[in-house]
C-alpha cells in the first residue's frame, strides 16, 4: 500500500541503505517478512507500527544486533551484513537504543570514551569535541558531571552525543522521546533535522504522531512484520497511516480516541459525569517517603480524588512518581502521612489488603511487579482471584480459561489463547491484560495507573484510555501517573505536577496550560 505518490524522480537521492525483501525469524515466529525500504541521505525516515510489528527488530538488523534470515541489505552501494554493532559503528552507523546504556557512577566524558579508546584517555580532547557538538547541534553537557547526577533529558543527550561524536552517516533512534520534557522532545527533533540537513540519513522509530508531523520526510508503516504503507508526505497522510497501522477504520473511532491518536485537534475530551462525582474517594494526606540514605523522595504529598474523577500526575521520571505509586500499592512503606479510601485507612496495608479494599493497581513496571511471566495469560488475568476457580486445592483450568477468553475479547488482548505463557505476549498485550485484571475487580472503587501507555502503539493507547474513561463513568476514582502531557490533557480532569518529590502546582487539564505544565515539570512554579 502506497499512501501517496513518491517525490519527483529528480528530487530523490540514491539510497544510503537499501533493504530488499528482508526476513527475520525467531524460531517459528517471523518478526519481519519480506520488508523492503530505502534510507536516503538528507532525510528523516520514521518507522511507525503497533507493538510487535517488527520496528525494533528492523533497527537491530541495521545495527548488526541480528542477522537477516532472508533478503539482503546494501549500504553505500555495496552488500551489507555487519558482524555486530561494533562493525556497524565502524561503517558509519550509530544507534540510540530505547533504554539508556550509561554507567551511572562515571562521568559524561568517560561514558563517551567507553569502548572507543585504550590506554591513556584524552579526556580534555573529548571535552573539546563535546563543546563543538554542543555548538553545532544545541546539545550542551558538562563533560565531567556524573551520569547519576543528570536529569533524564541530559542522559538522553549523552546517548545522542555518544553517537554524533562518531560522525555517523546513518543515525538510528529507537523510541528516544518516551521520558523527555516537551521542550527536550522539540530539541531532539531539531537535532534530527540538523543531522539530516548535513546529508546524513536518520531513522526515527516513534509512536507519537505529532513527532511524525513535525519532522518526518518519509514514513514506513509495519504491521505484523510486513510493510503495509509508505508516505512521502506524512504530515498530510496521518489518517491513512494510522488506518494502515491498526488495520481499522479511523472514521469509526470515537472523538476521544481520535484526539488521543492525534487525528483531530480536540481541545479536551470530557467524559460523561459520574453519578457520584464530588464524593471524595482517595485521600492522601502529607505522604512522605525517605530512602535508605535518608533522602526525601516524596515530600508532604497531599491530594484527594473524587469518585468519577481522573486526576493526572505529571512529571519527569525520578521526581517521586515511582515512590508515590509504590506506597499506594502497599509495596513501599511511607515515613509519614496517611492514606484513606473513603472511611478505610489503608496506611501501611499490604498489597492484598489494598486490593481487597477495592483499589486496582496498574504498576509502572508490569514485568517486575505486575505479572508472573512464567504463568499463563489466564492465570495472570485472574491472578488476584484464582481462589474463585479452585476447589479442594485443584484449579479448574477449563472454567478459568473460559472466563479469561471473555476478558481477552473485551479488552482486545491478542495471544494464541488463554493458555499461552504471559511472557510470549507483546508488551502492549501484556499491559492490556494487566489493565483487564485490575479494572474488573468486583469491588473496584479506585484505580491507580502508573505510566499505563508506556511503549504502547497509538491504537493500544486509545484502547487503554477508553477503558479508563469507562471505569470513571461508573464512579471509579482514577489517579493517572504519566509523563505524557498530551495524553493527560486529553483524558484527565485536572493535573498536578511533581518535581523533586513535591507538588509544584496543579491546574485544569486544558491544552492551553501545556506550556505552564511543562515549566512546572522543569521546576518552575506558576
pLDDT at res. 468: 92
- Note whether 282 and 479 are within 8 A (CB): yes
Tell me what the mean pLDDT of segment 113-135 comes to.
81
Q: How many whole angstroms separate alpha carbon 324 and alpha carbon 339?
A: 11
pLDDT at res. 265: 36
- Burial pattern 141-151, b for ≥16 Cβ within 10 A else e, equals bebeeebeebb
pLDDT at res. 226: 92
User: Residue 467 is placed in which grid cell?
Assistant: 477503558
pLDDT at res. 81: 94
Lowest mean pLDDT among 22-36, 292-306, 334-348, 458-472: 458-472
pLDDT at res. 181: 65
Tell me what the mean pLDDT of segment 168-189 comes to.
81
Answer whether residue 188 is part of any domain. no
Which residue, of 385, 410, 440, is where some domain finishes?
440
Kind and range of the H or E run holding 76: none
Report pLDDT digits (tens) over 437-489: 999 999 999 999 998 887 676 777 888 888 999 999 999 999 999 878 888 99
244 and 263 part of one domain: no
Answer whether residue 74 is part of any domain. yes
Structural domain tally of the chain?
4
Residue 109 confidence (pLDDT) above 50: yes
Q: How confident is the model at residue 274 (pLDDT cuts 50, 70, 90)?
A: low
Between the ranges 35-49, 129-143, 443-457, where is the mean pLDDT highest? 35-49
354 and 473 part of one domain: yes
- Note whether 363 and 354 are within 8 A (CB): no
pLDDT at res. 10: 42
205 and 332 part of one domain: no
Lowest mean pLDDT among 15-19, 118-122, 144-148: 118-122
Q: How many whole angstroms separate alpha carbon 18 and alpha carbon 35?
A: 10
Answer whether residue 364 is part of any domain. no
Q: How many whole angstroms separate alpha carbon 69 and alpha carbon 26?
A: 10
Q: How many CB atoms lie within 10 A of CB 283?
A: 17
- Note whether 361 and 328 are within 8 A (CB): yes
Q: How confident is the model at residue 178 (pLDDT cuts 50, 70, 90)?
A: low
153 and 85 part of one domain: no
Residue 262 confidence (pLDDT) above 60: no
**SS3 string of 388-412?**
HHEECCEECHHHHHHHHHHHHHHCC
Which residue, of 252, 271, 301, is where some domain finishes?
252
Answer whether residue 518 is part of any domain. yes
pLDDT at res. 278: 65
What are the residues whose beta carbons fall under 8 Å from the beta carbon of 71, sequence distance 6 or more? Answer: 19, 20, 21, 22, 23, 34, 35, 36
Residue in 300, 298, 296, 324 with CA at minimum distance from that of residue 311: 324
Please state, for a pLDDT cut of 90, what percent of the chain lies above it: 45
Q: What is the largest CA-CA distance in the chain?
A: 76
Q: How confident is the model at residue 407 (pLDDT cuts 50, 70, 90)?
A: very high
Q: How many whole angstroms separate alpha carbon 511 and alpha carbon 488?
A: 10
pLDDT at res. 117: 62
* 207 or 223, higher pLDDT: 223
Q: How many whole angstroms separate alpha carbon 202 and alpha carbon 188?
A: 12
Which residue, of 204, 220, 252, is where some domain finishes?
252
Answer whether residue 183 is part of any domain. no
Q: How confident is the model at residue 252 (pLDDT cuts 50, 70, 90)?
A: very low
73 and 12 part of one domain: yes
- The chain-wide mean pLDDT, for the chain, equals 85
Residue in 144, 181, 174, 145 with CA at minimum distance from that of residue 160: 174
Answer whether residue 338 is part of any domain. yes
Residue 269 confidence (pLDDT) above 90: no
Answer whether residue 406 is part of any domain. yes
Alpha carbon of 503 to those of 314, 512, 519: distances in Å? Answer: 10, 20, 13
462 and 387 part of one domain: no
Tell me what the mean pLDDT of segment 264-268 comes to.
42
Q: How many whole angstroms separate alpha carbon 211 and alpha carbon 208?
A: 6
pLDDT at res. 271: 54
Kind and range of the H or E run holding 485: helix 485-491
* 365 or 447, higher pLDDT: 447
Q: Residues, the chain, total?
A: 526
CATH code, domain with 22: 3.40.50.300
Which residue range forms the structural domain that includes residue 115? 101-167
Residue 175 confidence (pLDDT) above 90: no
25 and 126 part of one domain: no
Residue 230 confidence (pLDDT) above 80: yes
Residue 185 confidence (pLDDT) above 90: no
* 117 or 241, higher pLDDT: 241
198 and 303 part of one domain: no
User: What angle in degrees, to the nearest 10, is found between the helix axes of 123-137 and 152-164?
Assistant: 100
pTM of the model: 0.66
Answer whether residue 151 is part of any domain. yes
234 and 134 part of one domain: no
**Residues paired with residue 362 on neighbouring β-strands, in sequence order:** 449
Residue 23 confidence (pLDDT) above 60: yes
435 and 450 part of one domain: no
Tell me what the mean pLDDT of segment 385-398 comes to.
89
pLDDT at res. 483: 79
407 and 394 part of one domain: yes
Residue 209 confidence (pLDDT) above 90: no
Q: How confident is the model at residue 179 (pLDDT cuts 50, 70, 90)?
A: low
Q: How many whole angstroms separate alpha carbon 176 and alpha carbon 158?
A: 12
pLDDT at res. 177: 75
397 and 521 part of one domain: no
User: Residue 67 is placed in which grid cell?
Assistant: 542477522
Residue in 456, 452, 509 with CA at minimum distance from that of residue 486: 509
Q: How confident is the model at residue 12 (pLDDT cuts 50, 70, 90)?
A: low
Amino acid at each position: 500500500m502506497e499512501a501517496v505518490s513518491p517525490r519527483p524522480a529528480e528530487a530523490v537521492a540514491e539510497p544510503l541503505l537499501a533493504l530488499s525483501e528482508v526476513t527475520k525469524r525467531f524460531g517459528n515466529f517471523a518478526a519481519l517478512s519480506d520488508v523492503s525500504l530505502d534510507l536516503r541521505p538528507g532525510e528523516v525516515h520514521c518507522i511507525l507500527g503497533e507493538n510487535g510489528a517488527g520496528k525494533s527488530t528492523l533497527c537491530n538488523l541495521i545495527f548488526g544486533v541480528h542477522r537477516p534470515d532472508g533478503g539482503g541489505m546494501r549500504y553505500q552501494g555495496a552488500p551489507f551484513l555487519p558482524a555486530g554493532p561494533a562493525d556497524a559503528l565502524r561503517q558509519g552507523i550509530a544507534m540510540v537504543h530505547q533504554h539508556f546504556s550509561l554507567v551511572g557512577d562515571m562521568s559524561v566524558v568517560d561514558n563517551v570514551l567507553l569502548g572507543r579508546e585504550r590506554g591513556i584517555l584524552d579526556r580534555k580532547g573529548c571535552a573539546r569535541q563535546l563543546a563543538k557538538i554542543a555548538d553545532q547541534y544545541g546539545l550542551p553537557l558538562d563533560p565531567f558531571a556524573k551520569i547519576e547526577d543528570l536529569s533524564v533529558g541530559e542522559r538522553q543527550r549523552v546517548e545522542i552525543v555518544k553517537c554524533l561524536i562518531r560522525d555517523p552517516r546513518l543515525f538510528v533512534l529507537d523510541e528516544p522521546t518516551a521520558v523527555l520534557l516537551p521542550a527536550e522532545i522539540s530539541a531532539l527533533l531539531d537535532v534530527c533535522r540538523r543531522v539530516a540537513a548535513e546529508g546524513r540519513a536518520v531513522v526515527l522509530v516513534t509512536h507519537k504522531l505529532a513527532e511524525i508531523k513535525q519532522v518526518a520526510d518519509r514514513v514506513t508503516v509495519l504491521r505484523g512484520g510486513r510493510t503495509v504503507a509508505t508516505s512521502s508526505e506524512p504530515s498530510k497522510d496521518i489518517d491513512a497511516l494510522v488506518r494502515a497501522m491498526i488495520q481499522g477504520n479511523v472514521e469509526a473511532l470515537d472523538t476521544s480516541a481520535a484526539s488521543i491518536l492525534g487525528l483531530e485537534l480536540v481541545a479536551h475530551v470530557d467524559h460523561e459525569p459520574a453519578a457520584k462525582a464530588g464524593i471524595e474517594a482517595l485521600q492522601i494526606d502529607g505522604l512522605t517517603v525517605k530512602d535508605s540514605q535518608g533522602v526525601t523522595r516524596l515530600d508532604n504529598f497531599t491530594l484527594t480524588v473524587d469518585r468519577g474523577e481522573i486526576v493526572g500526575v505529571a512529571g519527569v521520571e525520578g521526581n517521586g512518581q515511582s515512590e508515590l505509586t509504590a506506597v499506594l500499592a502497599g509495596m513501599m512503606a511511607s515515613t509519614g502521612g496517611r492514606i484513606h479510601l473513603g472511611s478505610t485507612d489503608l496506611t501501611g496495608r499490604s498489597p492484598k489488603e489494598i486490593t481487597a479494599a477495592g483499589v486496582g493497581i496498574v504498576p509502572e513496571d508490569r514485568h517486575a511487579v505486575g505479572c508472573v511471566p512464567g504463568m499463563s495469560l489466564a492465570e495472570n488475568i485472574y491472578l488476584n482471584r484464582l481462589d474463585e476457580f479452585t476447589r479442594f486445592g485443584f484449579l479448574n483450568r477449563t472454567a478459568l480459561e473460559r472466563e479469561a477468553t471473555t476478558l481477552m475479547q473485551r479488552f482486545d488482548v491478542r495471544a494464541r489463547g488463554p493458555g499461552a505463557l504471559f511472557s510470549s505476549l507483546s508488551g502492549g498485550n501484556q499491559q492490556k491484560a494487566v489493565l483487564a485484571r485490575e479494572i474488573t475487580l468486583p469491588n473496584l472503587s479506585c484505580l491507580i495507573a502508573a505510566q499505563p501507555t508506556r511503549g504502547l502503539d497509538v491504537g493500544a493507547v486509545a484502547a487503554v484510555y477508553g477503558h479508563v474513561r469507562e471505569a470513571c463513568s461508573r464512579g471509579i476514582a482514577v489517579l493517572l501517573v504519566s509523563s505524557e502531557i498530551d495524553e493527560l490533557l486529553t483524558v484527565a480532569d485536572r493535573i498536578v505536577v511533581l518535581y523533586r518529590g513535591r507538588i509544584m502546582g496543579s491546574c485544569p487539564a486544558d491544552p492551553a496550560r501545556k506550556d505552564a505544565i511543562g515549566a512546572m515539570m522543569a521546576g518552575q512554579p506558576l
